[in-house]
Amino acid sequence: MTTFQIVGLVIFIGGMVPYAIGSLIHIAHHPEALDLRFRMTPWPSWPYGWPRPIHPKARWWCGIGFPISIAGFVLLVVSTFSLGFLALFIAFGAVFFGVIRFIGEKRQ
């Protein structure tokens, strides 16, 4: 492992610790959050809120841990794969999801 991979892994795990603490706080105050059954209800988008609002104490832990773990994950991915491979992967993903969206719009 290179130094950047080790640093990325440490940052990722370091961010997951406060995120896990926030998740456990939220589950302790809202045990229904563990109910993962599929329901045919419309999923609201971000500006309009979420089905189960996160507990205020958990919000800070998750708000700190999530960006840190994302930064560690990005550093780990960038240091593991070549930038050419990542660019090709992102381009194929964009084309794939663009085609899916195009087909979905045509069906409506």
- Per the listing, tokens 């419309």 go with 42
Q: Is the pTM of this model over 0.95?
A: no
Residue 96: what pLDDT?
Answer: 94
Q: What is the pLDDT of residue 10?
A: 95
Q: How do the residues of the chain divide into helix, strand and coil, expressed in percent and rounded to 5? A: 80, 0, 20
Token pair, residue 32, equals: 């229904």
pLDDT digits (tens, 9 = 90+) for 30-62: 887 776 665 555 555 555 555 567 788 888 998
Say if CB 26 and CB 33 are below 8 A apart: yes
Per-residue tokens: 97: 């999801």
Domain boundaries, the chain: 3-35+54-82
| Beta-carbon contacts of residue 67 (< 8 Å; ≥ 6 apart) | 15
